[in-house]
Amino acid sequence: MKFDRTKKQAAGKKGSAAKTAGVGAAVQAKKPAKKISPSRRQASAGRKAAAKSQSADRPKDNGPQLTQEPGKVALESYPSAENRPFSSPLEVLRGRRIVLTVTGGVAAYKAAELARLLTKNGAQVRVLLTKAAECFVTALTFSSLTAQPVASDLWAETSARENVAHVAWAQWAEVMVTAPATANFLAKLTHGLADDLASSVALAFGGPRLAAPAMNTGMYLNPATRTNLELLRQRGYRILESPEGLLACGSVGAGRLAEIREIAWETARLLTGGPLEGRRVVVTGGATREPWDDIRFLSNRSSGRMGACLAAAAWLMGAEVTFIAGPAAIVPEVSPEGLKIVRIQTCEELLAAVRKAIEGAWALVMNAAPADFKPAEKVAGKIRKSKDKLPQLALTRTPDILKTLASELGRTIRVGFAAEDGDNPVQRARQKLKDKNLDYICANRAGGAGDTFESPDIELTFLSAAGREIPIGPVPKFQAAWTLWELLAAGTKRS
């Protein structure tokens, strides 16, 4: 998974995409399901229709074999995770069919980078160019990057197999992405105009659609453009609002094209089918730092990579995510709408952040590695070296977050992690599951052979309160995270 401590690239490039079938009934939250806006409902319906239409073309995964028992979490067995689909976030794009529409703005040159990124992660990308876009970029650029057809002329000759080009392109696509989307093309989409190939394909396409506007600030903020964007949202379009910055015209303001990786992540989310849509989850990750003086602190080797993978996977599956991360924890490379990152330093700050975030949450996944102990007193300034004696360090316990919050969690699904050494990590993890009143716990090794700290891979055992044990891995951490969310979505409500 491509993460780093400053939201830059760091790892993960293997995997294959195949959506798991037969995952079972969804876990029900204590409160009624979050209301989904008409635009999101239409987008979700489009994703499901697109996924259904492709089911015959992609290899099927038998998925988890689960049974339901009234009032219990029933997990009979789960196949080895070696064959789970995705080892990094953008690999959910592998094998998927994307039509990228490029319209005539200066930001059109960035669309080449987007086409390359989507193709690099295994997507099949076909590009539509408007006549205005051809003033900035060429068809040769995109055909070279994607090894797929590029088209712009509604009246060009077509093969007998695709004798109606705009219909053939619309039927081929699983998702349509317009980037950059100019004010003129947005107006066409809003009012159903179909006077060129790109707008005709858009009108004929019925699946999930995304538009990333890019234009001058005055055009972007004009009431006509704002109205068009709102109408497109209501019709199911995913609109990526333009960030502020320096524009080609020399002014500073809103109107820039969204970041290329954010567009790619949003495209991947549209293609997952939304198994967690309408649910809010809280994930924690990384180590805390317990200060001894103003310079030194107690901590541990947890990188936070698994927490970042859990947060990213949940967001891609449609959830609204709050990721509470330690001060040096790895975080997802982008933070799009619906993926909130909260930084904390100490165990007490982690407790306060979780308490604030859990109200109404469907699930809490405690992957963070808070320090078990902290200095009894924090020394102001820096403790100086002395030739005569060593400084004395007295320790005290930090709060047990899951135990402390047990009475406040209600029917929120509770998932813990137990990093254990020695011969019986699963046995000790099961005792923690019981002591902390959890629904699930994931046991993994820390230290020695099989140590998962600071590693891109993980091997763990998923334990349920109903007594099930499901081995997962060793696999990339994102792959394991995806599997865990599928298992949670396949359970029953907390009894």
Among the listed residues 135, 249, 309, 442, the single catalytic one is: 249
What single DSSP character describes residue 133?
Answer: G
Phi, psi angle pair for 341, to nearest 5°: -110, 125
Helices (H), 249-343: 260-270, 305-316
CB of 189 closer than 8 Å to CB of 199: yes
- Token pair of 345, please? 């330093």
Length of the chain: 495
Phi, psi angle pair for 454, to nearest 5°: 60, 15
442 classed as catalytic: no
Please list, in sequence order, all residues whose beta carbon lies within 8 angstroms of the beta carbon of residue 284, skipping any fewer than 6 positions away.
307, 323, 324, 325, 350, 354, 365, 366, 367, 368
Which residues of 51-207 form beta strands (DSSP E)?
A: 97-102, 124-129, 150-151, 175-181
Place of tokens 């306060």: 352
Q: How far is the CA of 117 from the CAs of 142, 225, 419, 479, in angstroms?
A: 12, 29, 35, 20
CA-nearest of 382, 279, 378, 375 to 322 is 279
HSE at residue 50, side-chain half, CA atoms within 13 A, is 27
253 strand-pairing partners = 245
* Strand pairing report for 150-151 and 297-298: unpaired
- Token pair of 276, please? 């967690």
285 strand-pairing partners = 325
Burial of residue 393 (CB within 10 Å: 0-12, 13-18, 19+) is: middle
Q: How far is the CA of 228 from the CAs of 191, 195, 235, 239, 278, in angstroms?
A: 9, 18, 11, 11, 26
Active site positions, annotated: 249
